[in-house]
Chain A
Amino acid sequence: MTTAADSVLTQLRKGVLEHCVMAHLRAEPTYGLDLAARLSRHKTLLDSEGTLYPLLARLRRAELVETEWRESDSGPPRRYYRLSEQGRQALATFEATWEPFQRDVRAVLEETR
Chain B
Amino acid sequence: MSPRPAVVIHPLVHAYLSDLGRALAGADPRERADVLDGVREHLDEALGDGAPVETADVRRVLADLGPVEAIAAQATRAELPAPPTSSSVASPAAVAPASDTTSLVALITAIVASAVFFIPFVSIPLAVASLVTAAVHLRRPGARKGRCWAAVAVASATLLLMALAAALLLSVEEVGTLGPGTVGSATSVTSAPAE
A binding-site residues for B, Cβ under 8 Å:
15, 18-19, 31-33, 36, 40, 47-64, 75-76, 78-79, 90-91, 93-94
In angstroms, Cα B88 to Cα A64, docked, is: 14
Please indicate the chain A residues that have their CB under 8 angstroms from the CB of B38 in the complex.
Answer: 32, 52-53, 56-57, 79
In angstroms, Cα B89 to Cα A63, docked, is: 12
Q: Is the CB of B90 within 8 A of A61?
A: no
Please indicate the chain A residues that have their CB under 8 angstroms from the CB of B143 in the complex.
Answer: none
Please tell me if B193 contacts chain A, counting CB pairs below 8 Å.
Answer: no
Q: Is the CB of A60 within 8 A of B34?
A: yes
In the complex, which of the residues A18, A52, A58, A60 has the most CB atoms of chain B within 10 Å of its own CB atom?
A58
Chain B 16-53: CB-based contact to A (< 8 A → 1; otherwise 0): 00001000000100110011011101101110110000
Please indicate the chain B residues that have their CB under 8 angstroms from the CB of A56 in the complex.
Answer: 34, 38
The 7 A-B pairs of least Cβ separation, nearest first, read A48-B66, A62-B92, A57-B34, A53-B38, A50-B65, A54-B74, A50-B71
In angstroms, Cα B72 to Cα A63, docked, is: 21
Please tell me if B93 contacts chain A, counting CB pairs below 8 Å.
Answer: yes
Q: Is the CB of B74 within 8 A of A55?
A: yes
26 A-B contact pairs sorted by A residue (CB < 8 Å)? A15-B90, A15-B91, A19-B90, A31-B45, A33-B41, A36-B42, A47-B66, A48-B66, A50-B20, A50-B71, A51-B71, A51-B74, A53-B42, A53-B71, A54-B75, A54-B76, A58-B76, A61-B34, A61-B92, A62-B92, A63-B95, A64-B92, A76-B49, A78-B45, A79-B38, A90-B89
Cβ distance B170 to chain A, nearest Cβ, rounded Å: 49
Q: Is the CB of B30 within 8 A of A61?
A: yes
Q: Is the CB of A57 within 8 A of B46?
A: no
Task: Output the nearest chain B residue to A55 by Cβ-Cβ distance.
Answer: B74
Please indicate the chain A residues that have their CB under 8 angstroms from the CB of B41 in the complex.
Answer: 31-33, 78-79
Please tell me if B64 contacts chain A, counting CB pairs below 8 Å.
Answer: yes
Interface residues on B, range: 35 or more
Please tell me if B125 contacts chain A, counting CB pairs below 8 Å.
Answer: no
Please tell me if B83 contacts chain A, counting CB pairs below 8 Å.
Answer: no
In the complex, which of the residues A15, A52, A59 has the most CB atoms of chain B within 10 Å of its own CB atom?
A52
Q: Is the CB of B90 within 8 A of A75?
A: no
Cβ distance A66 to chain B, nearest Cβ, rounded Å: 13
Chain B 138-166: CB-based contact to A (< 8 A → 1; otherwise 0): 00000000000000000000000000000
In the complex, which of the residues A50, A51, A58 has the most CB atoms of chain B within 10 Å of its own CB atom?
A50
Please indicate the chain B residues that have their CB under 8 angstroms from the CB of A18 in the complex.
Answer: 92
Please indicate the chain A residues that have their CB under 8 angstroms from the CB of B76 in the complex.
Answer: 54, 58
Q: Is the CB of A54 within 8 A of B45?
A: no
A50-B71, A64-B92 known; 7 other A-B pairs, CB under 8 Å? Answer: A33-B41, A40-B64, A48-B66, A49-B64, A51-B71, A53-B34, A53-B42
